[in-house]
Amino acid sequence: MSLPDYAIEAKGLFKTYAGNKKTPPKQALKGIDLAIPRGSIFGLLGPNGAGKSTFINILAGIVNKTEGKVFLWGRDIDLEPRNARAAIGVVPQEIAADVFFTPRESLEVQAGLYGVPKKERRTDELLAALGLTDKANAYVRQLSGGMKRRMMVAKAMVHAPPVLILDEPTAGVDVELRRQLWEYVVGLNEQGVTVVLTTHYLEEAEQLCDQIAIINNGAVVACEPTSQLLKRIDTRTVVITPQDPLVAAPAIPGFPAKLRKDGHLAISYRTGESSVEAVLAAVRASGVTIRDLATEDPDLEDVFLSLTYGADGAQAPA
């Protein structure tokens, strides 16, 4: 069988949760069309309740879809459910591990569940890759939260799946562990593993992902290469270093201005409506003498807020 163009493909995917006497039915997914390229690091972003977890749970076989088609590594999950789901490894957001097993035992059991022959198991290799060799024979209950999360990644890789799905893998872990985890994940990707990532750390997605899809209210509102997605907002910011310190942002007609804690004056403008020259002229007209300046492009957080809560983010949740 030739390699598929897409590691994961969803076509017209719907999921409706049945209601009861107290709550009406809830439509969690509303016709998702998504094609995740083979070999990519793909970001799946969206606010809480947007439908990301439902989508991942359908891929993992935990939730049954209501309608639509899903292909994992080119295999239809309806026609080839076991072969399709053998192509993915899922690291769930919640840590689920038998506290009376050691990491080595946990990986051996997981490999057995996937039918991996003993001579083909990579238990020690995975433990070493994720920095767990010295804890291989300790009980899971003795591990720190970060170590348990690393063990979850190792468990997801015991059957060497071509697709790894990470659901909020660095939530609540320290910066150093986050760095180590991403080094390992990027290394897997360089070996050909497709990585699908959900995260609330937008800077992670911006730095790591080749392509990003944003889901809101059960629908895909954007799916583009990361660099292209960042161009969706035409707002830029001019950052002024004033010659004399300011105690407050001056009124600059036509441009919103904000005085930052470091004393820099940040002025935003739309590239289709104005220019840096116009901003500088307005700043000078306000009586501010410019010592230095820089410009900033929008980041992923700006795009995310624009697409999910409106251009000004006014509807963002508290």
Range of the domain at 143: 93-160
Residue 1: what pLDDT?
60
Band of residue 143 on the pLDDT scale cut at 50, 70, 90 = confident
State the CATH number of the domain containing residue 263: 3.30.70
Q: Do 153 and 275 share a domain, yes or no?
A: no
46 and 127 housed in the same domain: no
Query: Is residue 318 scored above 80 in pLDDT?
Result: no
Mean local confidence (pLDDT), 187-208: 90
pLDDT score, position 309: 65
User: 3-class SS at 245?
Assistant: coil
Q: Is residue 129 part of a domain?
A: yes
* Mean pLDDT score across all residues of the chain: 88
Inside any domain, residue 203? yes
Residue 177 falls within a domain, yes or no? no
**pLDDT band for position 313 (cuts 50, 70, 90):** very low
- Looking up residue 50, the CATH number of its domain turns out to be 3.40.50.300
Do the domain assignments include residue 180?
A: no
Q: pTM for this one?
A: 0.78
The verdict on 137 and 25 lying in the same domain is no
**Rounded distance, CA 56 to CA 301, Å?**
23
**Residue 2 shares a structural domain with residue 82:** yes
Give residue-wise pLDDT tens across range 237-293.
999 999 999 999 999 988 989 999 999 999 988 887 888 999 999 999 999 999 999
> Is the domain of 73 the same as that of 97?
no
pLDDT digits (tens, 9 = 90+) for 99-129: 789 999 999 999 999 999 999 999 999 999 8
- Domain count across the chain: 3
Q: How confident is the model at residue 310 (pLDDT cuts 50, 70, 90)?
A: low
For the chain, the straight-line distance linking the first and the last C-alpha, in angstroms and rounded, comes to 49
Examine residue 184 and state whether it is found in any structural domain, yes or no. Answer: no
**Residue 85: strand, helix, or coil:** helix
Reported as a single tens digit per residue, the pLDDT across 284-293 is 999 999 999 9
Give me the pLDDT at residue 145, please. 81
Q: Examine residue 124 and state whether it is found in any structural domain, yes or no.
A: yes
Closest to 91 (Cα-Cα) out of 26, 152, 150: 152
79 lies in the same domain as 1: yes
Q: Which residues contact 113 (CB under 8 A, 6 or more apart)?
A: none
